[in-house]
Structure formats: structure tokens, C-alpha cells
Chain A
Amino acid sequence: IAGITQAPTSQILAAGRRMTLRCTQDMRHNAMYWYRQDLGLGLRLIHYSNTAGTTGKGEVPDGYSVSRANTDDFPLTLASAVPSQTSVYFCASSPSRTDTQYFGPGTRLTVL
């Protein structure tokens, strides 16, 4: 059992390019999340999904979109990347929206 997998592990991207970060969980958790982690700012919620087919905006959603077509996958898309989106991105999941969240290994994204 892998838990949560994220791909790619790291990526360097030119500004203006489109990028999708992938997240897959095998725990059959209902809720999934995307966070970004920046030095001095801590982890901040970008988007979340309480169940397949539903999504919601977190604290810093601008410039990002998500979809939740099934229980296991929760991709995060940057439609037109900007340098301020340089960060480490973590996907997380929890059995329900009020349960403990478990995190994936992260994707380090650099936008030049």
C-alpha cells in the first residue's frame, strides 16, 4: 500500500506554460487536498474536495484549478504558470473532511 503518490517529484517550468500536478491515493479516502508550502509562510490550502465530484476553494486558489472525477485522483492544474507559483506542493487526503489529513511526498515546482 503506497498511501499517496505525487508526480512529478520535481519540475522546472517556463512562465506561461500549463502544468498538471498529479495526486493518487489508495486509501479510499473521501476528502483530498492540495497545499503549497513556502518558507516562512507554512502550509496553505489551495483547493479541496470532500467527495468525488465536488471541489472547493481554499486560502490561496487563484491561478489553480482542480477536478475530482473519481475517489482516488485529484490533479492540480496551473493554467498559465507564473514565478510566484514556485513552491513545494503537497497533496493530502483524509477519510472525511473532519478527520486527520495524511500527506504525500510533495512536488517541488520552479517557475522561471
Chain B
Amino acid sequence: EDQVTQSPEALRLQEGESSSLNCSYTVSGLRGLFWYRQDPGKGPEFLFTLYSAGEEKEKERLKATLTKKESFLHITAPKPEDSATYLCAVFPLTGGGNKLTFGTGTQLKVEL
């Protein structure tokens, strides 16, 4: 069974204090790994898709990386507007249906 574990569950940073969020996964062949951002009361907003180990993607202060067992979302010099819950999901190569398996997220709070 596919599994996704995100850590930490919650993270509090000072503005400008860089850090990383972790997404560990177990899947029988990876088609893609997705990162989403979710603000309170809103739907998940797509950030990145990673397909193979060694791949990296960047967007503003965020950089996502992928290995064969985990993905990291690095946040460089965060600002208060980066506060949100960050979700990771995996899409397996095999198996029926369209089943994305999501982690439970990391709730990030960036303070002034």
C-alpha cells in the first residue's frame, strides 16, 4: 500500500529563517510526486511536480527536491505570506484508478 509521511506536523519560523519540510514515501513505482500549498478554508494550490530522483524545481522562495525515498521542500528566507499547510502526494506507476495518496501536511507559520 502506498504511504506518505510528512514531517514535521507543524513548524514555526521567524521571517528570514530558512528551513526544509520532509515528505517520505513508499510506493511501488513512482509516476510523480506533487507539492501543494493550502491556505485555511481554501482548496490545495498546485506548486510542483517531480518525476525522477535528482530532479529539482524552484518557484520564488521554494525549492522542491526528490530522492528515491523522500522529497524536501526547502523554504529560503520565508515571509509571513508563506504561512500555509504544505501537502505532498504521490501518484504510483501501477494500480487501478487515479489514486493520489496524500500526506497529512506540514502546517507552516512564519512570524515577523
Q: Which residues of A contact B (CB under 8 A)?
A: 4, 31, 33, 40-45, 48, 50, 56-59, 90, 92, 97-98, 100-106
Starting from the known contacts A98-B32, A103-B36, 14 additional A-B residue pairs (CB-CB under 8 Å) come to: A31-B98, A33-B98, A42-B87, A42-B102, A43-B87, A45-B98, A56-B97, A90-B44, A100-B34, A101-B100, A103-B46, A105-B42, A106-B42, A106-B43
Q: Which residues does chain B contribute within 8 Å of A31, judged by CB atoms?
A: 98
Q: Which residues does chain B contribute within 8 Å of A45, judged by CB atoms?
A: 97-100
Contact B104–A58 (Cβ < 8 Å): no
Residue picked from B42, B46, B91, B97, most chain A C-beta under 10 Å:
B97
Q: Which residues does chain B contribute within 8 Å of A106, judged by CB atoms?
A: 41-43
With the chains together, A90 CA to B87 CA distance in Å?
Answer: 14
Contact A97–B98 (Cβ < 8 Å): yes
CB 8 Å contact bits of B17-32 with A (1 = contact, 0 = none): 0000000000000011
With the chains together, A45 CA to B99 CA distance in Å?
Answer: 7
Q: Which residues does chain A contribute within 8 Å of B100, judged by CB atoms?
A: 43, 45, 101
Would you call B78 an interface residue if the criterion is a C-beta within 8 Å of the partner chain's C-beta atoms? no
Q: Indicate whether A103 sits within 8 Å of B43 (C-beta atoms), given known contacts A42-B103, A42-B105, A43-B87.
A: yes
Contact B98–A56 (Cβ < 8 Å): yes
Distance (whole angstroms) from the CB of A88 to the closest CB of chain B: 9
Kindly identify which residue among B31, B45, B98 contacts A103, using a CB–CB cutoff of 8 Å: B45
Give 24 CB contacts A-B under 8 Å.
A33-B98, A40-B104, A43-B87, A43-B89, A44-B102, A45-B97, A45-B98, A48-B97, A48-B98, A56-B96, A56-B97, A90-B44, A98-B31, A100-B49, A101-B34, A101-B100, A103-B36, A103-B43, A103-B44, A103-B45, A103-B46, A105-B42, A106-B41, A106-B42
Smallest Cβ-Cβ distance to B42: which chain A residue: A105
With the chains together, A30 CA to B28 CA distance in Å?
Answer: 26
With the chains together, A97 CA to B103 CA distance in Å?
Answer: 20
